[in-house]
Amino acid sequence: MVEIKTDTALEAMREAGRVVAHALAAARAAAVGVRLRELDEAARAILTKAGARSPFLGYQPSFAPTPFPAVVCASVNDAVSHGIPDDYRLRDGDLVSVDCGAKLDGWTGDAAISFTVGTPRPADLELIAATQQALDAGIAAATVGHRIGDISHAISTVARKADSGMPADFGGHGIGRQMHEDPHVPNHGRPGRGFPLRHGLALAIEPMLMAGGRNDYHTDPDGWTLRTIDGSRAAHIEHTIAITEDGPRILTLP
């Protein structure tokens, strides 16, 4: 069931989104030598200070063999998403994607960023830029009167132009009282199809681009981490947005 939020609920989601933005800003400051576990620790401290809790910690969807053990997903280089923060130390030139959520006063925010550490590879910067462009295109299509398929088509159009692949069965989602709600927001789709966009609909839009151009992937033995099948690098960028009569509103900004 799709829940249409009141303006009061969207304001509460904005506050949860602000907490997410602060946690991701701390992650973006990571330097060479920092352990992935330290990114999780920093995010935990920010959530705790804000009085928020993590919708990631302990989350166990149907595909996962165990509950997720952290408050952020930290995915490096060929990891597309859902990476578990561990003792890996970031190296010069790594491409890092960090996904974080926060639940505050009963409402949820969810966002992700991708960035490079140390000396960037030009190809990584191009991949991150294309992923950001795909997200921007998806958000621009998220207007009253359009449909979910218009968002999906906008994202996939950018990905195709960049010769990038995207994991076929992962995408965005509705969000509100829970992190994952209806409707599903595929990163591939046809315009004019799917659920109609109305004022008060809240969505997490999250393109994941894979530089090798393939849409298939494999899952690590941990049951969580998704990796490109060909070892190429990946980027993941996400925002929680609200559909409003005045246009899309990004809820996960500082």
pLDDT at 116: 98
pLDDT at 74: 98
Q: Residue 233 above 90 pLDDT?
A: yes
pLDDT at 137: 98
Q: Which structure tokens are listed for 253?
A: 């900004």
Omega before 67 within 30 of 0, i.e. cis: no
pLDDT in tens, 154-197: 999 999 999 999 998 899 999 999 999 999 999 999 999 999 99
Q: Nearest 5°: phi and psi at 87?
A: -90, 10
Q: Residue 150 above 90 pLDDT?
A: yes
Classified as helix, coil or strand, 157 is: helix
Closest alpha carbon to 79 in 228, 238, 213, 216:
228
Rounded to whole angstroms, the Cα distance separating 173 from 3 reads 12
**pLDDT level of residue 80 (50, 70, 90 thresholds):** very high
Tell me the helices (H) and strands (E) count for the chain, helix number first.
4, 13
**pLDDT level of residue 135 (50, 70, 90 thresholds):** very high
Sorted by sequence, the CB contacts under 8 Å of residue 106 that are 6+ apart come out as: 12, 177
Burial class for 103, CB neighbours closer than 10 Å (0-12, 13-18, 19+): buried
What pairing do the DSSP bridges indicate for beta strands 217-219 and 226-228?
antiparallel
Q: Which structure tokens are listed for 53?
A: 């809790």
| pTM strictly above 0.75 | yes
CB 128 within 8 A of CB 115: yes
Q: Which structure tokens are listed for 22?
A: 């602060």
Q: What is the mean pLDDT of the chain?
A: 98
pLDDT in tens, 244-254: 999 999 999 99
pLDDT at 168: 85
Rounded to whole angstroms, the Cα distance separating 74 from 149 reads 29
pLDDT in tens, 5-64: 999 999 999 999 999 999 999 999 999 999 999 999 999 999 999 999 999 999 999 999
**pLDDT level of residue 102 (50, 70, 90 thresholds):** very high
Q: Residue 203 above 90 pLDDT?
A: yes
